[in-house]
Structure 1
Amino acid sequence: MSNVSMQSILATHLDHYRQHHTLTPQQARACHRIGLCRSAALGGEQVRCSQCDFEQYRYHSCRNRHCPQCQRNASETWSRQRTAQLLPVPYFHLVFTLPHQLNPWVDLHPEVIYRLLFQCVWSTLKTFANDPKRLDGDLGMIAVLHTWGQNLSRHIHLHCLIPGGAWNEETQQWHPAKSSYLFPVRALSRKFRGAMVNALRKSRQAQALHRLTDDKHFNDTLKQLMQTDWVVYTQANIQRPETIINYLARYTHKIAMDNHRLIDSDDQHVRFRYKDYRDHDKHKIMQLEHGEFIRRFLQHILPDGFMRIRHYGILANRCRQQRTDSIKHALAVTAELDVDTRDQDSPHSPAPIPPAATVCRCPRCKNGRLVIIATLLPQRRREGTD
């Protein structure tokens, strides 16, 4: 089995890449953290088996949101925290995609375009939900930004996980979704297109898109976009809670390239697996030169501090507990299912280590337990004290 990983590719080829390309500060920091992940530089613990003489060093992860080694645990922790927050209703999965004509603008103003995408998707869905002829209430949404396609190309889209209904605060009633696809896709697409184009115009007027200097090109692009159909995908409702949690885990902490998709790497190329959605979801293998592979990976590094997972409406952090309690009560959910789901950790705080992590089974004798016998300081700090 190949030992190729994103960490090993960057360690071997990033220096050469930097001779010909300039990294942004965000890209440089992400690459640096990925390179240190689960190494002595970050410290860790020394563990020993309680039955045999087996010992092992376990180093800390870098916890960078673009690191393939860290996101699996982050996904599992995030999903556990929200299992009890699920409402006893069907859920819907919607995807809003930005046209590829906007990709060059994203290169110049990523934070602005991404922020407008969140705002316009939510305003579109909120308008439909508040319509008395539709749901006549407040919607809830968990939105997750993805910027990539399976082949690492730029493909900006927003995954939206939405409870199937709306909450009317005045009547204290839950209005279930009437359609198996929540809202008409074509109508959503047109509303979203108009909202996004209008938001781009206003941002330009406010000088938020100041790096776009060609007025004619800007106006021509928006006119072309208004004449094309924008892609909005809606999946039929998801009924089973465990399936919803699987969706949460799958989309919330997914990154552009997972290590398990990497096949091998030689002196010239990297090969990885991908799914070709345009060819009936066939699984294929792509080969890229190292420089192009790194370039594609780095274009998905998000601006510092940008939140790629956001909660809206009845699922917004400030009111989620109160709203979900009211909805569960209105739906006559039993008291034992109505558990306290308040988050104790911020999105950026380290995930707590499960108690079992300190007593893992010994990989050698299979009988003993691994017990922490020493704490290893980060290598740089330890060397600085010598």
Structure 2
Amino acid sequence: METVNQRNGDTELSDILRSQKENFLIRGRLCTDQMRAYNDILHCRTSKMGSHTLTCDTCGDTRTSYNSCRNRHCPKCQYVKQLLWVEKLKCRLLPVRYFHVVFTVPEFLKPLFYLNQRECYSMLFASSALAVKKAASNPAFLGVESGCLSVLHTWGQALNYHPHIHMLVPAGGPDLDHMEWVAAKKMFFVPVKALSQIFRGIFMEKLFFALEANQLRVPEKQKCLYAAMGILKKEAYSKFWHVYIKKTFKGANQVVSYLGRYTHRVAISNSRIVSVNATTVKFRWKDYRDNKTKIMDLPCAEFIRRFMQHVLPNGFYKIRYYGIMSSANSKTKMEECFRLLRITRFISFYQGLSTYEILEEILGRDPFRCTCCNRGRMVYGLAKGKGKEP
């Protein structure tokens, strides 16, 4: 086993994975998706990922760089994706207030979730979105057609397994006849306890159906719990399903600013890792019980085990849109919303630009400007004075 002895500020997640690769890779302790993520993060921006050479089209200076892994769980490969996604989102958001709602599940369901991630995460997405839709459309509350943008997170600050949905909900919506825009008051349009009960009922209905259809694997230690629907129902309805409303965003600009640093997070960033030695990892975490930042000390193997819990199934979408915000309604119901709000829907400034042109606009500089002559542009495959732009 390789030894790691990094100074404060020099440590990356890949260093920790490298120190434990014999334990996790050779002994086969990971599933296929986890193995892929482990190898990608381990080899990101190293010779294992290959390299590319850029040449200045003016002075001929060359620069060789190792390729990124582009894995969505890699802490070094999310920044550009985050920038581009946020810019595309700007033109789809309604210029209204937004509520930030968080949906969680009781502790006893977490083993079932981990064993059936694709199925249970999908049920969590669908149940939380349907709960908001039902609550919003109820004339006793607001009586509108609503929508939401939902983001799945599976971790807590200490890297513990904590699947939950962060949801952004417009503070209002078109009435059911689509004749006017009905704005919600300062508070969320339905009491949180009522929303929690609606969410619990919808989720449990979907869960009972999936269990009866034998679509889920039951954890070995919980077979007695899932043996009879009556026992499971009693356990589920004896628990309080935590749904809570966080701060309200005053407009689309605040939402975009928030999403830019939130949606493309991975379980832990390199900046939170304090130090590593041959046996332990120290990292910063926020204890929300007293709202203080603390240092946690974990054995390397336990740290990696916790991190790998948050690798999502291959191809699973962690950001989804529902209701009036769904892609299917982008040119129909969303257009009606802009009309009812009497606001012209703008076209993104970046529409039609290439990825590199967008990056140049966002960063305020040309990322491929030659740093040697400060005049030329770094391009691929330069030969006989010609080359391709990167």
- Which of 51, 65, 76 aligns to 1:43? It is 51
The corresponding residue for 2:4 is: none
How far residue 193 of structure 1 moved from its aligned partner, in angstroms, is 1.6
Structure 2 distance, partners of 1:54, 1:286, is 46
Q: How has the CA–CA distance of structure 1 residues 252 and 369 changed in structure 2, closer, same or farther, with 3 Å as cutoff?
A: farther
The corresponding residue for 2:355 is: 352
Q: Is structure 2 residue 321 aligned with structure 1 residue 328?
A: no
Q: Give the conservation status (yes or no) of the 8 Å contact 2:54–2:64.
A: yes
Structure 2 distance, partners of 1:130, 1:197, is 21
Normalised TM-score (structure 1): 0.86
How far residue 212 of structure 1 moved from its aligned partner, in angstroms, is 4.6
Q: How has the CA–CA distance of structure 1 residues 359 and 369 changed in structure 2, closer, same or farther, with 3 Å as cutoff?
A: farther
Q: How has the CA–CA distance of structure 1 residues 12 and 75 changed in structure 2, closer, same or farther, with 3 Å as cutoff?
A: same
The corresponding residue for 2:380 is: 374
The corresponding residue for 2:73 is: 66
The corresponding residue for 1:382 is: none
The corresponding residue for 2:257 is: 246
Letter of the structure 2 residue corresponding to residue 352 of structure 1:
T
Identity of aligned residues (%): 33
Give the alignment's Cα RMSD to 1 decimal: 2.7
Structure 1 distance, partners of 2:278, 2:21, is 13
Structure 1 distance, partners of 2:238, 2:111, is 19
Q: Give the conservation status (yes or no) of the 8 Å contact 1:50–1:368.
A: no
Q: Give the conservation status (yes or no) of the 8 Å contact 2:58–2:377.
A: yes
1:80-113 deviations in Å (ceiling 9; x for gaps): 1011222121011000011121111123211111
Structure 2 distance, partners of 1:182, 1:14, is 50
The corresponding residue for 2:291 is: 281
The corresponding residue for 1:379 is: none
5+ residue gaps, structure 1: 346-350, 377-386
Structure 2 distance, partners of 1:105, 1:238, is 34
**How many equivalent residue pairs?**
364
- Which of 328, 336, 340 aligns to 1:318? It is 328
The corresponding residue for 1:141 is: 148
How far residue 31 of structure 1 moved from its aligned partner, in angstroms, is 1.4
Structure 2 distance, partners of 1:31, 1:98, is 28
Q: Is structure 2 residue 134 aligned with structure 1 residue 127?
A: yes
The corresponding residue for 2:116 is: 109
Structure 2 distance, partners of 1:200, 1:342, is 44
5+ residue gaps, structure 2: 1-7, 383-390
- Which of 9, 12, 17 aligns to 1:2? It is 9
Q: How has the CA–CA distance of structure 1 residues 266 and 226 changed in structure 2, closer, same or farther, with 3 Å as cutoff?
A: same
Structure 2 distance, partners of 1:223, 1:164, is 35
Structure 1 distance, partners of 2:87, 2:66, is 24
Q: Give the conservation status (yes or no) of the 8 Å contact 2:9–2:271.
A: no
Structure 1 distance, partners of 2:86, 2:158, is 27
Q: How has the CA–CA distance of structure 1 residues 123 and 165 changed in structure 2, closer, same or farther, with 3 Å as cutoff?
A: same
Q: Which moved more, 1:242-251 or 1:198-207?
A: 242-251
Structure 2 distance, partners of 1:266, 1:50, is 46
The corresponding residue for 2:162 is: 155
Q: Give the conservation status (yes or no) of the 8 Å contact 1:135–1:177.
A: yes
Structure 1 distance, partners of 2:340, 2:233, is 45
How far residue 15 of structure 1 moved from its aligned partner, in angstroms, is 2.1
Q: Give the conservation status (yes or no) of the 8 Å contact 1:142–1:161.
A: yes
The corresponding residue for 1:256 is: 267
- Which of 35, 38, 46 aligns to 1:28? It is 35
Q: Give the conservation status (yes or no) of the 8 Å contact 1:116–1:196.
A: yes
Letter of the structure 1 residue corresponding to residue 340 of structure 2:
A
The corresponding residue for 2:388 is: none
How far residue 343 of structure 1 moved from its aligned partner, in angstroms, is 11
Structure 2 distance, partners of 1:290, 1:303, is 24
Structure 2 distance, partners of 1:331, 1:344, is 24
Structure 2 distance, partners of 1:97, 1:370, is 52
How far residue 341 of structure 1 moved from its aligned partner, in angstroms, is 5.6
How far residue 43 of structure 1 moved from its aligned partner, in angstroms, is 3.1
Q: How has the CA–CA distance of structure 1 residues 200 and 13 changed in structure 2, closer, same or farther, with 3 Å as cutoff?
A: same
Normalised TM-score (structure 2): 0.85
Q: Is structure 2 residue 183 aligned with structure 1 residue 176?
A: yes
Q: How has the CA–CA distance of structure 1 residues 100 and 369 changed in structure 2, closer, same or farther, with 3 Å as cutoff?
A: farther
Structure 1 distance, partners of 2:141, 2:368, is 52
Instruction: Report runs of 4+ in structure 1 exceeding 6 Å deviation.
Output: 342-345
The corresponding residue for 2:5 is: none
How far residue 321 of structure 1 moved from its aligned partner, in angstroms, is 2.9
How far residue 236 of structure 1 moved from its aligned partner, in angstroms, is 4.1
